[in-house]
Amino acid sequence: MHIGDLRTPAAVVDLVKLGASLAAMRERANRLGVRLRPHVKTHKCVEIARLQHGGQEGPIAVSTLAEARAFASSGFRDITYAVPLAPQRGAEVAELVRAGLRLGVLVDHLDTVAALEACAGVENVRFPVWLKVDCGYHRCGVDPVGAVGLQVAARVGRSGHLELAGILTHAGHAYHCRNREEITAVARQERDVMVSFAGRLRQAGIPVPEVSVGSTPTMSAVDDLSGVTEIRPGNYAFHDVFQATIGSCRVRDCAFTVVATVVGSYPEAGRLVLDAGALALSKDPGPTHVDPACGFGRVCGLDGEELEGLHLASLSQEHGTVTAATATLAARFPIGTRMRIIPNHSCLAAACFDRYHVAEGDRIVGEWRPARGW
């Protein structure tokens, strides 16, 4: 089957680009002397996670318990659930741990520790626990210079039901950067905050086996990870317009595209309409802090090359509106023309699909089914 034969909208993963990005990150982790624990939230797909580890079911991070269950049932044995756990879902974690999965959970609050301890006691299991640290993103995590972090770590350390696996952070504020220099600065901050916080804990007599950091931008730019033991980039498998715009990758590194068909042609108005809207591309506004007119993705031909002068200006539920620089240009793409869109945010766009078509060049060579739900 040819990529142009797919029913649209369709999600396509370019196997060559995927392979190159995965190999580059593996080499980078090796060179920096850290374990690679890819965050699989971007693709949620066991086949890709195996490729990330050169064919093995290596350590991964997940964003939902549904992912944890799906990957555990495919042989992955070391998983970090890298989103703070709702205390009501402790029994589900216990069930996976009891079945032999090393499933690390995040804590950044004494209430969560108390809930986990109680649950582990009732369920008679021992939970590996990561202390989540705020290295500057200000979403989740303990303040690395405050008192709570030490209290939480000490309480975990004293617990018979919990094991402090290590400390963990995510420099999500790297997505606010405008270029590679800024990303490098955030990457150094991410590392320095964590190494310094690990030192504080160790000085207080609390062993810190692991120091885990990572985002795709910071891991694409960082030059030294002394004191860090593992990294958790996720988006690098697919990359996207956001990453390319802030300097984490090149546009041609993006492995995930959505194939769409021109279903409306209005050349006199310089406009085309595609059958890929917000339910196929997500409505992520993209890197507007760098490019306020970035639109909703890059418009490419079926060969994956960007089409100059076409702009994916707006999305409604099932329509993508493309503006063309001239009427002549718009007329070059009649109704029925196939295009490929590189989405602003591949994690959200990939989540719109129940299967990915695997492409080698213009041939479809396979189909992968991602995990869905929570």
- Applying CB under 8 A, the residues found at the interface with a second copy are 7-9, 41, 63-64, 83-89, 108-109, 111-112, 115, 138-140, 172, 261, 263-265, 269, 271, 273, 275, 278-280, 282-285, 316-319, 321, 334-336, 345, 347-348, 351, 354, 372-374
Paired tokens of 18: 């995927």
In the complex, least distance from residue 301 CB atom to a second copy, rounded to whole angstroms? 17
Specify the residue, 154 or 263, whose C-beta has the smaller distance to a second copy: 263
Which is closer to a second copy, CB of 34 or CB of 60? 60
* Closer residue to a second copy, CB minimum distance, 83 or 154: 83
Residue closer to a second copy by CB (options 21, 112) is 112
β strands within 43-186, DSSP E: 60-62, 78-81, 102-107, 127-132, 162-168
- The nearest distance, CB 95 to a second copy, in angstroms, is 13
Task: Report, in Å, the least distance between residue 80 CB and a second copy.
Answer: 14
Question: What does the DSSP 8-state code read for residue 344?
Answer: S
Q: Is-cis flag, bond preceding 287, omega within 30? A: no
By C-beta, is 271 or 332 nearer to a second copy? Answer: 271
The answer to whether the beta carbons of residues 257 and 189 sit under 8 Å apart is: no
- Decide whether 15 or 64 has the Cβ nearer to a second copy: 64
Q: Would you tell me the crossing angle of helices 148-158 and 180-203 to the nearest 10 degrees?
A: 50
CB of 6 to a second copy, least distance (A): 9
| C-alpha to C-alpha distance for 193 and 133, rounded to whole angstroms | 9
Angle between helices 110-123 and 148-158 (to 10 degrees): 10
**C-alpha to C-alpha distances, 127 to 96, 162, 178, 250, nearest whole angstrom:** 10, 5, 39, 40
Q: How far is the CB of 248 from a second copy (least distance, A)?
A: 16
**CA 138, 374, 82, 214 torsion: positive or negative?**
negative
Question: Which C-beta is closer to a second copy: that of 92 or that of 230?
Answer: 92
C-beta closer to a second copy: residue 178 or 271: 271
Q: How far is the CB of 178 from a second copy (least distance, A)?
A: 19
Q: Fill in the DSSP letter of residue 33.
A: T
Dihedral (Cα; 152, 153, 157, 162), 10-degree rounding = 70
What three-state secondary structure class fits 181?
helix
Q: How far is the CB of 5 from a second copy (least distance, A)?
A: 9
Give per-residue burial for 43-53: e unless 16+ CB within 10 Å, then b. bbbbbbbbbbb
> What's the closest the beta carbon of residue 190 comes to a second copy, in angstroms?
16
